Structure 1
């Protein structure tokens, strides 16, 4: 079932005609000669019935709103224009909003790609693009959006790890929120196509490790950060030590022995890498 446009015209003309028919019909019913009274009453009643049919065809459509019409149980079309319109009489008219809406999912506990329990939530921005499918293809399209959104969030979260401790370019939930949101949008659009709903945007609003492993994962992240910092410090210390040996040999013209180089390297590495302040030790040798 696809949305289609139903016949409708300016409703103000119909409203004026309906009022005129009622006035004329009432006047014919209460006036006129006695011998023609029956015919006048019949014509007046007919005009009032026609006015009633015309009044039943009037409908008001607000901005960003649509009217879905059914005629004795059969869908005949939708009015998307805003204003007062005259359409097919004796129809049931259902109102449906075309405004952009959002849905905040609950915080869900799911397992990521590596099996770690994580907490995740998202905001889903959507709008109705096919009124007939939204009303007749599913029981309640708003509830349908909520249930399918939670299901899609669980499925997408299980496709990626929360984080990676390697230096690869793997997509993760924490470091690639845009890619994850695009994947969630695509997943949801496929699920909600049947309900005539278009997904405008999805964004993660909450992402964290579950309580039972949050402390352990925090320690792991801290350890990884400390190791990375140590690596940078060691590389810098080696570079400084090499530069110091070259400068000493160049400025003094002396060639340091291997033992002196090892001693200098050891002292400088300990001084640079140590977290605590180093204490200088003055070495004195006996002069003979």
Structure 2
């Protein structure tokens, strides 16, 4: 047994050979690992260069940072708008005397005419600018506290409140004045022309008031009236009275001049139906 164990032991020359082989293999593996690391670093560098940059040169990281796509798009829009503003040349126009009153009228809000009339009647026209957004109806609901907050003097407050109680009469006068002004007719080449115009019921032609009127319908000529009567005038299925198709009623494709005629006609039809049913019952018996 001792001889066999001694014979199985390797010689020192064999051990050196195996160690050399192992060293060669390890070196070869280390070289391959280094090559792989270099390749991976090169690929990583390429990916980073191809990625788009965010704000301040920082890279996006799957939208984990709060400065994500929204801020990037906002910056792009701001840059675009600023570039457009710079690229478009600014046109400087000289301010003329005609444009100045227009600009003032656009900037200053309009005051209601009724309120201006009210303050002229009261004699406190200096306070009209404080009631720019008011109408005559909303002015009626103004309280003393609101007048005090506007900086109106106490004596003028009493005067305004007294005048507000008499507003209904003032409103009627204002409406009558405005109505009279609106009824003023236009004069063209010395001929008096009325502003009110009418439209024909059939052909929709616009004409003056002094034309044909038939049952509340206006017609521009006699031909339109005759054509309208031919197309729309029919006889009642019950009483044979002539009437306009649009003024009557329709029941089972039958035209009636009034609702009473349609009810009477339907009642008579129902009675006939009942009589015929009774006759059939008698025949069957």
TM range (shorter): under 0.3
Give TM-score scaled by structure 2 length.
Answer: 0.20
- The structure whose residues are more often strand, as a share, is 1
- The structure whose residues are more often helix, as a share, is 2
Which structure has the greater CA radius of gyration? 2
Give TM-score scaled by structure 1 length.
Answer: 0.19
